[in-house]
Amino acid sequence: MEERFERAYRELIVRAKEIALISSCALLLGWDEETNLPRGGARHRGEQQALLAGLEHYRAIDPHLGELLAECDASLPEGRPIEAANLKELRRRYERATRLPRSLVEALARTATLSQDAWLAAKEVRRFSDFAPWLEQVVALKREEAQALSAGGELYDALLGNYEPNARWSELAPLFEALDQALGPLLSAGLAASGQDAISLQRNFPFDRQRAFSVEVAERLGFNLSQGRIDTAAHPSTMLIGPGDCRITTWFRKDDLLDGFYSTLHEVGHGLYDQGLDPEAFGTPAGEAASLGLHESQSRMFENLIGRSRGFWTYFYPRAKTVFAPALDDLQLDGFLSAIQRVAPGPIRFRADEITYNIHILIRVELERALLEGRLEARDLPAAWREAYRTRLGIVPADDAEGCLQDGHWASAMFGYFPTYTIGNLIAAQLYQAARRDLGNLDQLFAKGEFVPLVEWLRDRIHRHGFARTPADLVQAATGHPLSHEALVLHLHERYVLHRA
């Protein structure tokens, strides 16, 4: 029986790794699209992506894969948790893939490439109407995908499953609602504690210095540049092309240090997770992150819990003052911290403070659910967006670039992704709380430039496990508690209310 299992399992893994290689080629084309592709090459790139998506899908629905999975399931020996986890996830993927026609998979890949190009052009002229026809196409295709995958269930759950395996909105909604109810009082208290006077960081920060400083910090935090790279693009992202090849894209603004620096920190968190996975397991679930929410927990932790802490800047601020001289000459550490920890509702998600950030996500989740379910037409998105921001944050975007064109997720057909940011915030706070319990005063470690203990703690508790354990199991094991909103609310209260009172 065991010999039968070993033979079938070896062949299954070979085939899974071949599928992963095709996917990695598509990712590499995606990275090139973001960093180097001429605008005129978008249509051809769309055909390339469609071809690769079709080839990957053809391999993913091969009936022999189903036969191998059945044989492995029937002969799996006791005490093989890694193999059992791989089989469970590979079975889930096979069943999802077999519900999708190849024509739809290719159409999504082609349309997403062209849609992203149209989104960039519309954002440049700050006019949603130029992008609206493309969004209509994307929504129609994603609805078709959701209907094929849902098997009569909730459409949104089907798309959540692309990022959070087996997630159900009915289970996430109470968690999001509990957080939402806590955010109102926190926002009022945070605004009061921040006061009226704001220290401006709108100064001259040359691009080359921003990049050099960001790369220096990334390396200090543990990102291995001999196995990765950092480039600029229209939308920050992290792509694990394969073992030893993790690529980060970021952006910089010459009059604002924070946009580029915190975007880079965010992606460094993703990159550290990818570089902490087992390279020998690449191409199998055990060599992949357990979920996008868990992945976002790492990026949000490095961007905010670490990157906006006093300890972090106690260590890095003297270097920042040197690198950007004379831009920060008049600003001491306390003033700089006051600026980066200020609570101030604004229209842009990636510039949001930690309290209002999740309100931005809640708005997007409701709008994309409405688009998918047909309660909102694509052409009506700008008006719905403005009303949501007026109601929830008391502000109205100045134009479409400040409004519904600011994110590229929907242009890239990434419906169901936005909840992972809030899931990531919740997990990050809970993990950070546990790390302080296990490692002691993290601020004191950071102030001395000691980031390795936390990275190693995360590698041991999260990164190295890949998909071998579920996100819920990993969070429970690392923190001693199931996922909750309480740690995040406590963190926000401590940083933005208590410490500023």
Q: Count of residues for the chain? A: 501
- The tokens of 347 are what? 């229209």
In 3-state terms, what secondary structure has residue 249?
Answer: strand
Pairing label, strands 228-232, 245-250:
parallel
Q: CA–CA separation, 186 vs 496, rounded Å?
A: 8
> DSSP assignment of 1-55, as one string?
-HHHHHHHHHHHHHHHHHHHHHHHHHHHHHHHHHHT--GGGHHHHHHHHHHHHHH
Q: CA–CA separation, 9 vs 4, rounded Å?
A: 9
CA angle 107, 95, 369 (to 5 degrees): 60
Contacts (Cβ under 8 Å, ≥6 apart) of 370: 376, 384
Q: CA–CA separation, 328 vs 373, rounded Å?
A: 49
| Dihedral in degrees, nearest 10, Cα atoms 370, 101, 293, 472 | 110
Contact at 8 Å (CB) between 362 and 176? yes
* CA distances, 10 to each of 1, 287, 338 (Å): 14, 16, 56
Q: CA–CA separation, 410 vs 132, rounded Å?
A: 11
Strands (E), 210-349: 228-232, 237-242, 245-250
Contact at 8 Å (CB) between 425 and 488? yes
Pairing label, strands 245-250, 237-242:
antiparallel
145 is catalytic: no
Contact at 8 Å (CB) between 156 and 372? yes
Name the active-site residue from 145, 267, 303, 354. Answer: 267
Q: CA–CA separation, 158 vs 146, rounded Å?
A: 5
Radius of gyration of the chain (CA): 23
Phi, psi of 62 (to 5 degrees): -55, 125
The single residue listed with the structure tokens 């950070």 is 432
Query: Residues with catalytic annotation?
Result: 267
